[in-house]
Each structure stands twice: as C-alpha cells, then as structure tokens.
Structure 1
Amino acid sequence: MLPPELSEQACSLVPGEDRLAFSISWDTDDTGNITGRWIGRSVIRSCCKLSYDDAQDIIDGGFEVDVSGKTGPKLHGQFELKDVVDSLRSLHGITKKMREIRLRNGAFWIEIPKIVFLFDESGNPCDSLLGVRKESSFLVEELMLLANRSVAEVISKAFPGCALLRRHAEPKSMKLKEFEEFCRKRGLELDASSSGKLHLALPKMREKLKTDPVLLQILLARAARAMQLAVYFCTGDLRGREDEWAHYGLSIPLYTHFTSPLRRYPDIVVHRTLAAVVEAEEAYAEKRQSCAASDGIGNRCFTGLYFDEEAAESEEGREALVCAAVRYGVPASEVVSEVAAYCNERKRAGKHVEQSAENVYLCALLKNKEVIFFSFFFTYFFFI
C-alpha cells in the first residue's frame, strides 16, 4: 500500500474535493448490454462517501428521504439525499442485469463463505463468524470487472506486443475427472468431463443440494480445487495464441487489473499503458479530424467500443502510439514479462502467508474454546 497521505487523501475520492482520475463511462440498454463507451482523464468531485453497509441499506430500502430521524451520509455540493438514493438503486438494477448476462455466458461462480476472526483487546482471536457478501459488494464488483475488461480490450489492441493482462486457464482434464468421481461417490451424477460443462453443472448441483448446505459447501470447495490459478502475462509472449488470453472463471476473452493502483503494482503498469493510448488517440485526432475525440462517447478510434485497426496501423496512428508509449514509459515486452513473473510469484507467496496466518488464528481460537468444533470447511480460491 502507498502511504496514507496518498492512499487516503491525494489519490482517494475525498467528498467535496476535486480529484484527478481516469474515468470510464458506459451506455447501456434496458437489458444491461453495453452500447457505448468513453475512456479518458477526468476531474471528479464526489458528493458523499458511502460504506458497504450504507449502500446495502439504500438497496434494502433504507435512507428514505421522508423517514424522520434517519441519519444519512454527509453531502457536499448541490446534490440531495434523494439523488444519491435514486442513483444507487438505479445502478444496482443495471449491475444485476450485467451479472445475469455474465453468468448466462458461462462465468464460473463459486461463493464459499470465508472465516472472519474477532479479536480481544490483547489482539488474540476470541471468536469467529462466516463473512457474507451482500448485494452492495456485488454492485461494486460488477463495475470493477467491467472497468478491468474494458481497459484490457483497449491496451491489448493498441499495444498487442507488450500489454499486461491477466488470464485464467481452463481446468485440467485430470482435475475435472477427480471432481466428477468425488461427486459420483456421493450420489451426484455430475457431467464435468469438459471445462465448458462445469459452469452448467454447478447450478444443477446447487439445486439438488439446497437442503444439504454442508455437503454443498464441501463440493464447492472441491470444485474450486480443480481450478488453475489466474496469472499475469505479457501479450507478446502469447502472440498468435490469443485463445489462451481468455479468463475462464469470468468467461471473457480479455481481462486485466486496473481498478486498484493504490495496492497493486500491475495496475500502475496498466495505468501507464492506458494513459499512452488516450494521448495517442488525442494526437491522432488532431491530425485526422475524422476521428475527433470531441465527437462523443463511443466514437473514439482507440478507446471507443470498437477499436479502429485501420487508424492504429496507419502511419499517423503508429507514430502517435510510439511517441505516447515513450512519454509514459510503457515497458517493452521483455520488461512486462519480468513484471508478470515477479507479480505472480509475489501473489502466490502472499496467498500462502494469508492461509498460514488464518490457520494459526484458527488453531489459537479452537485451543481457547471450550467447545470443540468437529468440522469446519473453507477454501482459498482467488481467480479474479
């Protein structure tokens, strides 16, 4: 993490203060499909700050403007509480449709509760509970996934030899067969013989085991173990093998990490690359008015919904991209490959430390408890 002066102030959306940012705006239809897109530099002045609990209260019907005594978030500027409530509920409806589309297209969804430890004044674990994600979490997650996907599309097409993306390979056939055999022994005929069928098999498994949540959690944990880990990679290393760029878990062809530059170095590399694309687009527009950046959302040659390959391959387009890459320090493919390898190793090490720490806390908690827990199942599955 960056120092608090940066992560909590200068680089954070502080309500009522102007903040420089990269913004992505989308147009959607009534069914949740994206019909237009704009990506560029912006100045944001947030009107308020909401916690996940605040957002969930609004989704559930709380924070009604006409309810006396209800304490709402502190507002800045010309907006009223009604504006915040209406906007958030509208956004919730849109993201629910987007999520439905993703799952319908084959996104692999395993939701296993994660243990949360409670500590006493001395810092020792005194109790635990299972963390439950709410609709407010899914709302934020859906928009983050969409932003990451949009940026991946832009940088991989503008710089196909040196873009830093994140891929998730299909499960290995042996792991799938083991999972299918595990289910068969427990009376579940689950056809997971191919990775394409696995995402279809899981909803049926949930339906069959809705009266046996313990066995369901065990099977979901086993399904998660069949998955390979998601990894960073340089597109230049897989040039000509674009089918291997896909993210199996999300069921999308392109994905990267863009939304957390305050805590992940890969996001910073991606930000530099995106900044180069935006500047190259502006430089190209100055020379070729047919691709003017001021025409509106969805009409940009490099960052719009449809990438203009003819513009990128033209002499003016290539020159604009090269100059912008030099200015913003877009790393060469060899450097991106090294960054990807290092970040993959550090991410694996971090997950190992996290798992070890949770095991230590769990052992300490069980030791201090008078009641012995005979079984507790949880897993560690991070493929996003």
Structure 2
Amino acid sequence: MLQFELLATEGLARRGRLTLNHGVVQTPIFMPVGTYGTVKGVTPRSLEEMGAQIILGNTFHLWMRPGLDVLQQFGGLHRFEQWNKPILTDSGGFQVWSLGEMRRISEEGVKFASPVNGDRLFLTPEISMQIQRILNSDIVMQFDECTPYETKGHRTTEAEARFSMELSRRWALRCQAEFQRLENPNALFGIVQGGMFEHLRQESLEALVEMDFPGYAIGGVSVGEPKEDMLRIMAHTPQRLPAHKPRYLMGVGTPEDLVEGVAQGVDLFDCVMPTRNARNGHLFTRFGDLKIRNARHRGDERPLDETCGCYTCRGVTNADGTVSGGFSRAYLHHLERCGEMLAPMLASIHNLHFYLDTMRQIREALDAGRFTAWAQAFREDRRRGV
C-alpha cells in the first residue's frame, strides 16, 4: 500500500504525506541507512527519539547475512530488528556495482562471488523481488544496473550509459512482473538511470512513468562524479517525474545537497554520510563542519552545536528534573583520542539528529510558505563556520 498527498508547494519544493503499510511518513524526509538491519551505533529507541520516520535496509547484505531462512522465520525485517515504522530496502544493484571486477553482468542478471564466504551467487531482478518480499519492506526498489561515472579508468561514454540504462529499463519490467506474481502488498519504485546525460535520463523516466510505478527514484548519482554534474542532474530529473507520486534521490548527500534536492522537488533522501563521518570524528553543525579530533577542542566546554537539541549536545531531562547527557567538545575529543566506543555512538546520534532536524525545519518552512528564505539563511549559517 502507498498513498501520497501533496500538502504544500513553494516553487518546485514539495511538502507531502506518504502513507505506507507500517505508518505515515511526513516528507521531505531523510532516511537513516541500516545496512545490516541496524543503523550503526544507534538504537531503534534513539532513532525514534530523534524523529526518524523510515529507515533503510540492504537487500544484498541481508541476503548474505543472516540469510533468508532467519528473516523468513521472523516474518521480515521489522520484527527482526525491532523497528515498527516503515522500511525501504534497496535492490542490491549498487552493492553488485561496487564489486567491480568481481562481478559478471548479463541480460539475465549478475554472477559474483560472495564477499562473505566466496560462494558463487547469481542475482536477478526476480531473485531481488523474492528477497525483498521476505524482508517485507514497505518500499521495494527495482533491481537496476548502476551506471558508473567512470568505467575502467575513463569517463563513462554515452554509449555505455545507454547500454546500462536500457538494461535497467528491461530489468524494471521483470521486477514489476515478479512483484505482481508474488502479490507483494507493499510498493515498488522504479529507478531512473542514464548517467550524466540528460537526454538518457529523460528516456529512462518516460519509460518508467509508462510502467506506472507507485514512486520513482533517481539513481546513478553520488558515484564519483563532480559536484557540478550531480547538481545538473538534480536540476533536470526530479521536476520531470509525476507530481502526484513520491520522488527519491538515492545516496545523497551533504546537508547542502539535501536542501538543494528539496528545492528541486525531491521528497526522500538517504546517505551513509551522517554515520560514516561520525565514526571518523566529522560532525555536522548549523554553522559548518567540525573535526572533533583537532587539538583545539581539548579544553572546549561548549557543546558541538549550541542550537542542537540532541542527547549529545543538550541531553534529556529525567523524571526527577535532572539532566542526562549534554557533553562538551572536550569530552568528545577525549573519547575520540582514546578510541572509546562511546565516541562514534554520540557522534552518530548528533549527526543523524542534525539531518533529521534539518528536514523537520524544512517541512515547517514549507508549511509556512517561507522555504526559500529559510534555505538562504541555512546556507549562510553553514558557510560561517564553527
């Protein structure tokens, strides 16, 4: 089941409400990435407290471990990872692409060696749909061939991008047929490909729109291309997708990228950046990015971001009126320098809260008809620096 309602617009930016089998998602929204059935270093309870409405799971990795027998035993991913809100699963296409020379692509599917135990495996559009049926994810992604920015040391040519896009288009038809055969009650999204070529993107989206998917994603960005190319495709594709259906920009990106994506009409975003950067001591704040390992933070009593309401920055008020949490930059610097497990946990909480709260502010600005002004102030604040 999928229902999408547009509640407000400002220019190309959209405010919506997405109803799925496991709950309602207010858009635009950022979706934390939970590759192996967990968002690294963050409990489901913490995710709910910071405002996460939908999270991701990874078809490829969950197929490898724990395996379909275990996931089927639990009736899908929700009960297995104790998350009762919506889940989106990717198809495995990006992970297969990232295997590089370890994979062999044909019309039928992709042969590759398991990165876990070396077993020879074969992933097809039909098998991807069967895995995601067992996962019981609210949003299922078609199996696609992710078009790289570079191929074997050279920039992907138009002919190579066309071959990849047309293969993904044929696989989309097979995914749709198998999805329907399985009587999957959830929603299947098509993925627009075409590399850095707008006319190929246009061909791809026109074919997918004709297939009448419940929602559409924009793939093949954030795959090594220069930022200006990503922004060019972001400016081209979202606005040309059906206005009455949700639009998902895959794997993007920085806080500024999210704001620009919203301005171009995107509803859903995901990226590993908040948690990956957190594990490397890289924190996002309203006033720019912060490297907590730097010596200048050694005695700094300030929180990471004085405007932030997360547990790491402000803490929580207990029933007895005491406050737990709210840590100084000096303490976080100390944890990082000592290699303490708590360091990436607190950093991940902050970064995810920052992304999710940024999206909350965007929704409020769209509701009030002041998104353009809010976005300009946000960009200026981020340029100021911490």
User: Normalising by structure 1, what TM-score?
Assistant: 0.24
Higher helix share: 1
User: Normalising by structure 2, what TM-score?
Assistant: 0.23
Higher strand share: 2
